[in-house]
Amino acid sequence: MQNFRTIKGTHDLLPNELNLWREVENFVHTLMQQNGYGEIRTPAFENTELFVRGIGTDTDIVTKEMYSWTDQGGNTLTLKPELTAPVARAYLQHQMGNQNPIHRLYYIDALFRRERPQKGRQRQFHQFGAEAIGSSNPEQDAEIISLAYNIFKKFDIQNMSVRLNSIGNAEIRPVYLENLRSSVKKIKLKLCATCQTRIEKNALRLFDCKNTHCQELLDEHAPLIFDSISDKDQAHFEMVTRILNEIEIPYFHDKKLVRGLDYYSHTTFEVTSSVLGAQDALCGGGRYNGLIEQLGGKSTPAVGFAAGIERLILAIDKQNISENSPNIYLIHFGDETTVTASKIANDLRLNCGKTVVMETLRRSFKSQMREAGRCGAKTTIILGEKELAANKIIVKDMSTGNQNEVPISDINQFFNKTS
């Protein structure tokens, strides 16, 4: 007989850990709504071509990480590996641009990439994120950055840093890359092996090399993309930083920060925390003024971010996680008590708003008492044969051990009073 288990890189989330997940999700909903963002949910899979066009043909995601298949009708489909392209697709499909010049959208969703799992990286993972479509102005960039920042701040993430840069518009990219390649080729042989291959394959990623020797060489010889962008784009960036200063978001202008997906332009940012290990990015984002047009719409400015929920959970200090224990544990025993106990539990939940857990295993009285103590119930209700015969229950306060007798007819009134 085969033992079934979760597929490599996927995980079950059990009730215990989901308490924290729900806390995170609830706060995301609250904060987003507070900022005027509306939730969007897109399908789990899309046409493969959407991601190829959106993310970029040469990116790792598209070339080797997508879960793609051909269905029985011959359609080439892909489980979504990121959400910016699907959101942009939805924006176009529903002609949202014609309804309103600006749309603020957010999501919480599961994504799929076939990577080798490690800390902070799994094959099915979850992100929340926001996309503001329509404004090209720097205050929109700052708003997006503040959304991400405020969520991490709320959960008191340690050793957090916000890195910020601008990579200018898409037109200057080829010019800059040419410039970069020719400068770096002069020092090619002094660089590490991976950097040497990156010169042709993905020159921007040279700046991500963890080898300090390579970084020193690059500092000396490589031109920085920020220095090659237009005055207008530099002024845009300047304005973003002015707003961040004013709203007290600490950031570091990292002139080497680049992003991996092709659709980014202008402002790019990343929030990292060293408590995460190698996969230290909590969130990444930036402008993507060219994406909507790339997908067949008219030129529309947009900016957004995406953050990994698993990574956020990893980075949260779990010291003070609140267990949710029931208000009331309802103990009953004897042949005739079950029906009445069920009725009492139902009334307390519906009429008094109590969290009530009722015994359904029919364990011994002692076991039920132990269970009531273990699950942290503040109050225990005892309904035995004697109580049933007398039409009353015993209400026991678990911290003091005090007991009261309450007539069954007065239960709702009693518990409404004690809130």
Partner RNA sequence: GUGGCUGUAGCUCAGUUGGUUAGAGCGCCUGACUGUGGCUCAGGAGGUCGUGGGUUCGAAACCCAUCAGCCACCCCA
Binding site for RNA (CB under 7 A): 1, 3, 5-10, 59-61, 65, 82, 113, 115-122, 125, 127, 194, 198, 202, 205, 208-210, 259-261, 270, 277-284, 306-308, 310-311, 363-367, 369-374, 382, 384-387, 394, 396, 398-399, 401, 403
Integer Cα distance of 374 and 367 in angstroms: 10
The packing angle between helices 172-185 and 193-201, to 10°, is 150
Which of 251, 284, 43, 60 is CA-nearest to residue 163?
251
Q: Quick one: CA torsion of 127, 52, 100, 134, rounded to 10 degrees?
A: 80
Query: Measured from the CB atom, is 31 or 258 closer to RNA?
Result: 258
Query: Measured from the CB atom, is 176 or 288 closer to RNA?
Result: 288
- Minimum distance from residue 209 beta carbon to RNA (Å): 6
Query: Measured from the CB atom, is 119 or 255 closer to RNA?
Result: 119
3-class state of residue 143 by DSSP: helix
Integer Cα distance of 83 and 81 in angstroms: 7
Integer Cα distance of 372 and 95 in angstroms: 56
For residue 379, what are the β-bridge partners? 328, 397
- Minimum distance from residue 300 beta carbon to RNA (Å): 20
- Minimum distance from residue 312 beta carbon to RNA (Å): 8
Integer Cα distance of 281 and 95 in angstroms: 33
- Minimum distance from residue 305 beta carbon to RNA (Å): 8
Q: Which segments of 222-336 does DSSP mark as H helices, in order? A: 225-228, 231-246, 291-294, 309-315
Query: Measured from the CB atom, is 82 or 233 closer to RNA?
Result: 82
- Minimum distance from residue 247 beta carbon to RNA (Å): 21
- Minimum distance from residue 380 beta carbon to RNA (Å): 7
Query: Measured from the CB atom, is 189 or 361 closer to RNA?
Result: 361
CB 368 within 8 A of CB 338: no
Query: Measured from the CB atom, is 159 or 230 closer to RNA?
Result: 159
Neighbours of 154 (CB within 10 A): 14
